[in-house]
Structure 1
Amino acid sequence: MSSIAKLFDLKGKTALVTGGSRGLGLQIAEALGEQGARLVLAARKRDELDAAVAHLRVRGIEADWIAADAAHDEDIARLADGALARLGHVDILVNNAGATWGAPAEDYPLQAWDKVMNLNVRGLFLLTQAIGKRSMIPRRCGRIVNVASIAGLAGNAPGTMETIAYNTSKGAVVNFTRTLAAEWGEHGITVNALAPGFFPSKMTQGSLDRIGVETMCARVPLRRLGDDDDLKGAALLLASGAGKHITGQILAVDGGASAVV
């Protein structure tokens, strides 16, 4: 029987976090790193990655970065190669990179649809496939944490957001998580997803400005948005030994928003 401290300990573990330079990805990276995991962060912008790694190192967290656009197949292949070269193997894969685009469904640009789907679904699949096949399946262990969204569990309230591609993509992530969990469980790999509600971020700032923070909070049972700590415990549970018997699950971290109609 392991102690609680041991169950959540990640010393000696390695983690690759996409979209890890800011926002929810950086929050998750902090949680894993504080528990001892060695990190590689991936994102598109080198300056943001530099800043994120400096932020983590000040906190005593060992981290490196690889600049890559997970919407492009060649970048995903390079990211998988680089992460495995630097870490040796990947124990924990956090698929957080994502994009959104707002427009009415009847006028939604095909270019925008493809941009969202290529990053949020295709890129997630290709990176997971590469890391699973090359590192997790041969070692018969691994933790995969996908970042979905409560937008993948339902539609948007009328008059709020027009994000049909984003909602569709996150719904795909939800069922990707369940399907892969069933396939890869025999290899000792767990696959779960976090479904955040509204967190202030660069991605959500436009919606928060338009709708208003007070209005958004009024729709949440806890009457608040997510903060800089609210994903840490859930991510750590799913990435650590404490979650070794949890797979195929979608955990909403949303202040109760998805519990009400």
Structure 2
Amino acid sequence: MTTNSLENRTAFITGASSGLGLRFAHMLAQAGARVALAARRTERLEAEVAAIRAAGGQATAIALDVANADAIGAAMDEAQAALGPLSILINNAGVSGEGSALSLPLDRLDQTFDVNVRAVYIAAREAARRMIDSGVAAQGDARIINIASIAGSVQLPGLTAYCASKAAVVSMTKGLAREWAARLIAVNAIAPGYIETEINADWFATAPGRAQIDGFARRRLMDDDALDQTLMLLAGPAARFITGSIITVDDGQSL
């Protein structure tokens, strides 16, 4: 197996219908992984699964709302039945939690933590259980990658709830890595800076959004491929000795 090969690995990606999650699914498939694309918008998933299969890959679409805690384990069982034992989890699904602390409705606060924190914790736990039971963990092939953010260490205006949720993901990643170290499950996180996605595109089209970009050290958003190599590092054999790491990829935006 070459360094970047993910042949005979099964990956489960949440929030895979658009943005980073969709790109991750295609990247992993190109590297040889069998990929389960999980999201609420199944009509989008079916089209992407067809594209992956047309390119010679193996993929399946899984309907999943990660806010429904009881559905996560069942979704992973469905993925395993279709593609084989789970090796890689990409905890990517997230919401913006945008709003000032004085005006953010409590249901939006709850949603932010349900999706960005609670679902990440439950998905990691359900994945770890399956990786242990199948023997994937004992083989040293178990990878859990949480998508955090520079917001986990930098306070962004109007995003206090989001920043708090991503700080929780950072802490959770380190805690789970320590807890499962003896099980040989590698738990790491990527903390990206701003890449234009469906979540933020409208904001960056506004005058204040463009002003924010002008305030970055390099006065730009990152390209779509900014996280590709970090993802492949953490998902593949090279991560055998990497666990509990938070890798920031932000083009200097947090400077």
Superposed pair shares fold, TM > 0.5: yes
Deviation of 1:204 after TM superposition, in Å, equals 1.1
The amino acid that maps onto 1:226 is M
* Whole-angstrom CA distance in 2 between matches of 1:12 and 1:196: 28
Note the 1:44-83 alignment, pairs <5 A: 44-83=40-79
Match for residue 7 of structure 1 among 3, 6, 9: 3
The equivalent of 1:35 in structure 2 is 31
The equivalent of 1:248 in structure 2 is 244
Give yes or no for contact 1:91–1:136 (8 Å, CA) kept in 2. Answer: no
Given the superposition, is the C-alpha separation of residues 61 and 228 from structure 1 closer, same or farther in structure 2, using an over 3 Å criterion?
Answer: farther
Deviation of 1:137 after TM superposition, in Å, equals 5.8
Structure 1 segments unaligned to the other structure (5+ residues): none
The equivalent of 1:147 in structure 2 is 147
Q: How many correspondences in the alignment? A: 251
The reply on whether 1:208 has 2:204 as its aligned counterpart is yes
Deviation of 1:26 after TM superposition, in Å, equals 1.2
Given the superposition, is the C-alpha separation of residues 191 and 38 from structure 1 closer, same or farther in structure 2, using an over 3 Å criterion?
Answer: same
The reply on whether 1:189 has 2:185 as its aligned counterpart is yes
Given the superposition, is the C-alpha separation of residues 222 and 31 from structure 1 closer, same or farther in structure 2, using an over 3 Å criterion?
Answer: farther
Give yes or no for contact 2:60–2:79 (8 Å, CA) kept in 1. Answer: no
The reply on whether 1:18 has 2:26 as its aligned counterpart is no
Give yes or no for contact 1:220–1:256 (8 Å, CA) kept in 2. Answer: yes
Query: What's the CA shift string for 1:19-62, capped at 9, x where partnerless?
Result: 11110011111221111000001000111111222332343322
Deviation of 1:216 after TM superposition, in Å, equals 3.6
Give yes or no for contact 1:90–1:136 (8 Å, CA) kept in 2. Answer: no
SS for the counterpart of 1:91 is strand
* Whole-angstrom CA distance in 1 between matches of 2:96 and 2:24: 20
SS for the counterpart of 2:96 is coil
Give yes or no for contact 1:17–1:93 (8 Å, CA) kept in 2. Answer: yes
Larger mean CA deviation between 140-149 and 55-64 belongs to 55-64
Query: What's the CA shift string for 1:204-239, capped at 9, x where partnerless?
Result: 123212355643432333332122211111100000
SS for the counterpart of 2:188 is strand
The reply on whether 1:123 has 2:130 as its aligned counterpart is no
Larger mean CA deviation between 132-141 and 19-28 belongs to 132-141
The equivalent of 1:198 in structure 2 is 194
* Whole-angstrom CA distance in 1 between matches of 2:104 and 2:209: 26
Note the 1:100-111 alignment, pairs <5 A: 100-111=96-107
Given the superposition, is the C-alpha separation of residues 211 and 91 from structure 1 closer, same or farther in structure 2, using an over 3 Å criterion?
Answer: farther
* Whole-angstrom CA distance in 2 between matches of 1:18 and 1:222: 30
Give yes or no for contact 1:40–1:65 (8 Å, CA) kept in 2. Answer: yes
Calculate the TM-score normalised by the size of structure 2. 0.92
The amino acid that maps onto 1:183 is E
Give yes or no for contact 2:86–2:130 (8 Å, CA) kept in 1. Answer: no
